Amino acid sequence: MTHEPVQIAVPGATLVGDRWEGDGATIVLLHAGVCDRRSWREVGARLADAGRDVVAYDRRGFGDVAPASSPFRHVDDLLAVLDAVSPGVPAWLVGSSMGGQVALDAALAATNGLAQAIDAAWTAGAQEECNRLEVWLWLDGPAEPEGRVSGASRELALEMNRIVIANGEPEADGASGLDAASRLEEIALPAIVACGELDVVLKVRRSAELADALATATYRGLPGRAHLPYLEAPDEIAALISDAVA
């Protein structure tokens, strides 16, 4: 399948790329530090033959893109590319060598960017913006498009969190003072620890660690769910609870 040229404007430059249009989530191919986008053409063509949507582009100072004349970050350029070729929809990043580092930077920037936006909205007193972003983080998942979960479930999440924000986020109030983390071995009751696989990465890891630390616990990952799975999939969670108490 033949690729088409694409150009993506970024601050201070225009990135040049190849695109094979297809179906599904876009695959962005990131070249190594000793190559440019042409190194991916044979792979891109094969992915396109399989019906995939594929983009490879030259970073600044590589291939058809001139070196930068002012400070910039490759990760910001990649995020601009993603906004151009896959707006609001997650994409696959495939990086070789230096391209892999740019991919990792983008994954961190995407997650941190949402958290930073929430902090900025909270600091500015923009309660509705804070509410919107927090529901995106916890209901949709940090790496998912905003609005993945819609309808009554989303409206309820916004309504409930609006009250929490108006009350000053009193989550820390009423703490027990017990250091549960250091005493998990004392809990011998059966337990199921479940976590949505779209939740914040740290919470997914900590949930698995909690299940390992509890003597009689089992871990259940919930595919396609984030931090509030009972809002988007009540039947699934009710079944999980029923199985646990049966």
**In the chain, where the domains are located:** 4-109, 124-170, 184-245
pLDDT band at 176 (very low <50, low <70, confident <90, very high): confident
Question: Which residues make Cβ contacts (< 8 Å) with residue 192, sequence separation at least 6?
Answer: 217, 218, 219, 220, 240, 244
- Domain 4-109 - what CATH class? alpha beta
pLDDT value, residue 171: 62
**Calpha distance 213→190 (Å, rounded):** 12
**Calpha distance 69→138 (Å, rounded):** 40
The CA dihedral of 171, 175, 178, 182, to the nearest 10 degrees, is 10
Q: What is the mean pLDDT of residues 11-20?
A: 97
* pLDDT per position as a tens digit, 85-96: 998 788 999 999
pLDDT value, residue 62: 98
Considering only the C-alpha atoms of the chain, give the largest distance between any 2 of them, rounded to a whole number of Å: 67
pLDDT band at 172 (very low <50, low <70, confident <90, very high): low
Mean pLDDT of the chain: 93
Residue 183, token pair as written in the block:
């005493």
pLDDT band at 101 (very low <50, low <70, confident <90, very high): very high
pLDDT band at 145 (very low <50, low <70, confident <90, very high): confident
* pLDDT per position as a tens digit, 66-87: 999 999 999 999 999 999 999 8
Q: What is the mean pLDDT of residues 155-169?
A: 93
CB atoms within 10 A of CB 130: 22
Least confident of 11-15, 77-81, 171-175: 171-175
* pLDDT per position as a tens digit, 27-71: 999 999 999 999 999 999 999 999 999 999 999 999 999 999 999
User: Has residue 173 got a pLDDT over 70?
Assistant: no
User: Has residue 169 got a pLDDT over 90?
Assistant: no
pLDDT value, residue 18: 98
User: Has residue 170 got a pLDDT over 80?
Assistant: no
pLDDT band at 163 (very low <50, low <70, confident <90, very high): very high
pLDDT value, residue 82: 95
pTM, full prediction: 0.70
pLDDT band at 217 (very low <50, low <70, confident <90, very high): very high
